[in-house]
Amino acid sequence: MTEFLKSELNKVKRGPKRANYDVATLYAILDDAFLCHVGYIFEGKAIVIPTAYARKNDKIYIHGSLKNRMMLSILSAGEACVSVTLLDGLVLARSAFHHSANYRSVNVFGTVKKVDNPKEKMDALACILNHMVPGHWDNVRQPNDKEFNATLVLEISIDSASAKIRAEGVNDEVEDHKLPIWAGVVPIRQIAFEAISDKDLPEETEVPEAVLRYVENNR
């Protein structure tokens, strides 16, 4: 499958020319972001909670405490909507009406399962940590039994999804072009700064290559 099929659930209604259903494009956005926002229903209300995640093939993994209300709710519902948004710029038009933002956002609609198999669960935890800082899992102390058992890992299969992408300049009305009003785009990006080492490190503990590379790639 190279494109997600459109349904009432994932079809982009507003601004359809910004819609994108290409699997590779969606996966790239999911891999580029760090946080997702998950929706769940509590006492008839739709509640939204931010959390870390990682994608592996057509699955998203999230983790948390065994008593995490959001995780238990989507597990019991058996499905979830996950929203990931990257802000790329402020689009400042001549007219108030045409103000907008450049962004890449993905909505995933998936089936939720608890990851019970120990190998699969450990792989998912590695995947979430490596999504923070690629390759860093191998540098750290891995979970002991107590930590492992205290962590709930859920798999959300990417059954259906859509992206909305805006990546262009100002779209003012042509008759506004003559107005003596400035218009343009302010690019926005999330950047990383040099790592601040913990004060309790044994002497000569160096910042690992994976962390240096992460900062270099995100500065």
Instruction: Please give the residues from 115 up to 174 whose contact with a second copy meets the rule CB under 8 A.
Output: 125-126, 129, 132-133, 136-137, 139-144, 147, 151, 169-170, 172
* Count, residues near a second copy per rule CB under 8 A: 99
Nearer to a second copy, 59 or 70 (CB): 70
* 114 vs 179, beta carbon nearer a second copy: 179
Q: Give the integer Cα–Cα distance in Å for 101 and 55.
A: 26
Between 2 and 219, CB nearer to a second copy: 219
At its nearest, how many Å lie between a second copy and the CB of residue 26? 15
Length of the chain: 219
Contacts of 61 (CB under 8 A, 6+ apart): 53, 54, 55, 115, 124, 127, 128, 153, 154, 155, 156
Q: Contacts with a second copy in 6-65 (CB under 8 A)?
A: 8-9, 13-14, 34-35, 37-50, 52, 64-65
3-state secondary structure 11-39: CCCCCHHHEECEHHHHHHHHHHCCEEEEE
Instruction: Please report, as a single letter, which amino acid is at residue 44.
Output: G
Residue 10, SS3 per DSSP:
coil
Cβ-based nearer residue to a second copy, 58 or 143: 143
Shortest Å distance, C-beta 58 to a second copy: 19
Q: Dig out the tokens for 127 from the structure.
A: 């995947």
What distance in Å separates the CA atoms of residue 117 and residue 98, rounded to the nearest whole number?
Answer: 51
Closer to a second copy by Cβ: residue 2 or 7: 7
Among 19, 23, 28, 215, binds a second copy (CB under 8 A): 215
Q: Are the C-beta atoms of residues 112 and 38 closer than 8 Å to each other? A: no
75-104 mask for a second copy (x: CB under 8 A)?
A: --x-xxxxx-x-x--x-xxxxxx-x-x-x-
